[in-house]
Amino acid sequence: MTEPATVVAAHRTVGGPVRDDVSLEELVYEAGRGALRRAGLDIGAIDLVATASSDAVDGRAISSMVTVGPAGGYGRDFVNCSSSGAHALVAAVLQILSGTTEMALVVSWGKPSEAPLDVVERLAHDPIYGRAVGPPATPMLALQVRAALAADAVSGELATGVLLEERAAAARNERSPVAEAPSAAEVDASPPLASPLREIDLPTAVDEAIALVVARGDRARELTDRGSVVRGMGWACDPTPSLGDRLPLPESLAAAATRAYAGAGLDDPAEQVDVAELADPTPYHAPLVGAALGLDGRATNPSGGHQAGWSGFGTDLRGIAEVHLQLAGEAGAVQVGRAARGVAHSSFGFATQGNTVIVLERDRGTP
């Protein structure tokens, strides 16, 4: 029987939302070094480095060139995905399952203090139709939320509750640079951005890098009895960046979940999933995505979700890291209890055009 891929360790860089004390290279090194330390390894044990980078956000052409070294990639197998931070994990798992890799370091990052994400995102509009008329990312999200409100799929009251809960969770989460939890009055007083979104609804941009050590199952068990087995992976992207008829949620979300659940053998996720980290670029999204994924809302985004900071590609990988920490019982102040199975979801593009769903399960020993 083929050995599965198992997450052995995870590390999120710490520090304030703006990490102007370090360069991008130093931030990436900090993450990789942290994950290796947690796994009890040095870089010599790694045979694959898988990264995910965004040229536009990093402000360089082929930005993985400058980060592959700090990520530990010199002299070893290397792959870089540029579609989602979570796709670095996908690539590593595929290589482990194909038998060419035993031990991988998976790294992604975002340093938005050096790149205004709302401006950069506009360059993703196609140059023929979209860029001439296409709005920035925030109004696109607002249109998506408006469609959900019109369909009674979510409410403003529910979103406000999610916001307060996630900001409180983020304040408890020692890995989150977002430490202040607003009051209900502060939420109400927040100025509007694009109806129904208020300034406070949008996550704080943070500089962060995330690294995971992922190993072939037998190698993972040599290192830890707290590994998280990757049981299912699904990823997809809706055909067009424009909203068109994909409101309120893109088809790629259901497609990614269907594939991931099938891989993990899940048929009743509300009962079978103990913890979930869902991408929520606004507080409206967590309940919307949770319902679409068939989750019952228990233990959703205990880390604070995107309210614990958003860095683009780095945050994509962070959700997977947080689920692993929950399954390993290493989530600290935001630990939800003894969780056996978790779902990590991430999204990218205008109004969540693309989606990735990963199902992790606490390692129960030899397959």
Partner 1 sequence: MSDAVAILGTSQTEFRHHYEEPQPELVRRAASMALADAQLELADVDAVVYSMAPDAMIGVMHPERWVADAAGAIEGRPILRVNTGGATGLSSAQLAYHHVASGLFRTVLVVGAERVGESGDAQMILNRIWDPFYERPFPLNTVTMLAMQAVRFADRYGTTDEDLARVSVKNHRHGARNCHAHIRREVTVDEVLESETIAYPLRFLDLCPQSSGAAAMVLANADVARTADRAPAWINGVGVGTETYWIGDRMGPRAAADHAESPALASAVESACARSGIGAHDLELAELYAPFSSTELHAIPDAGLCESGDVAARLADGEFDIEGRLPVNPSGGVMCSNPIAVTAMVRAIECALQVTGTAGGHQVHSPPTHALATGIGGDHEFFAAMAIGAEPRSRTEVRA
Helices (H) and strands (E) in the chain — how many of each? Answer: 14, 11
Piece of the chain touching partner 1 by CB under 8 A; list 9-17, 282-290, 322-330, 342-350: 342-350
Q: What is the Cα–Cα distance from 49 to 46, expressed in whole angstroms? A: 7
Q: Which stretch binds partner 1 (CB under 8 A): 156-164, 201-209, 270-278, 345-353?
A: 345-353
- Is 207 a binding residue for partner 1 by CB under 8 A? The answer is no
Residue 258 and residue 234 in contact, taking contact as beta carbons nearer than 8 Å: yes
Spatial CA neighbour of 254 closest among 298, 306, 289, 299: 289
Q: Which of 43, 219, 251, 335 forms a contact with partner 1 (CB under 8 A)?
A: 251
- Residues 141, 147: Cα–Cα separation, whole Å: 10
Find the binder of partner 1 among 28, 120, 215, 230 (CB under 8 A): 120
Q: What DSSP string runs through 196-258?
A: TEEGGGSPPB--EEEEEEEEEHHHHHHH-S--EEEEEEEEEE-S-SS-TT--SS-HHHHHHHH
- Size of the residue set binding partner 1 (CB under 8 A): 66
346 binds partner 1 (CB under 8 A): no
Nearest CB to partner 1, comparing residues 163 and 256: 256
Please tell me whether residue 172 binds partner 1 under the rule CB under 8 A.
no
344 near partner 1, judged by CB under 8 A: no
- Piece in contact with partner 1 (CB under 8 A), picked from 98-106, 184-192, 285-293, 316-324: 98-106
The answer to whether residue 15 forms part of the interface with partner 1 (CB under 8 A) is: no
Asked if 238 touches partner 1 (CB under 8 A), the answer is: yes
Can you tell me whether residue 80 is helix, strand or coil?
strand
CB of 285 to partner 1, least distance (A): 18
List the interface residues with partner 1, window 309-328 (CB under 8 A): none
* Tokens at 326, concatenated: 């929950």
Nearer to partner 1, 102 or 251 (CB): 251
Position 263 contacts partner 1 (CB under 8 A): yes
Which of 256, 292, 308, 327 touches partner 1 by CB under 8 A? 256
Q: Per CB under 8 A, which of residues 52..81 are in contact with partner 1? A: 53-56, 59-62, 64-66, 68-69, 73-81
We find the least distance from the C-beta atom of residue 25 to partner 1, in angstroms, to be 9
Told to check if 247 binds partner 1 by CB under 8 A, we report no
Residue 272 one-letter amino acid: Q
User: Would you say 296 and 352 are in contact if contact means Cβ atoms under 8 Å apart?
Assistant: no
The DSSP annotation for 331-351 comes to -GGG--S--SEEEEEEEESTT
SS3 state of residue 112: helix
Residue 96: CB minimum distance to partner 1, A: 8
Angle at 346 between CA 227 and CA 13, to 5 degrees: 60
Does residue 133 belong to the site contacting partner 1 (CB under 8 A)?
A: no
Please name every residue paired with 9 in a beta bridge, in sequence order, or none if there are none: 213
**Residue indicated by tokens 């975002």:** 110
| Binding site residues, partner 1, CB under 8 A | 2, 53-56, 59-62, 64-66, 68-69, 73-84, 87, 90-91, 93-95, 97-100, 120-121, 123-128, 233-241, 251-252, 254-256, 258-259, 263, 348-350, 353-354
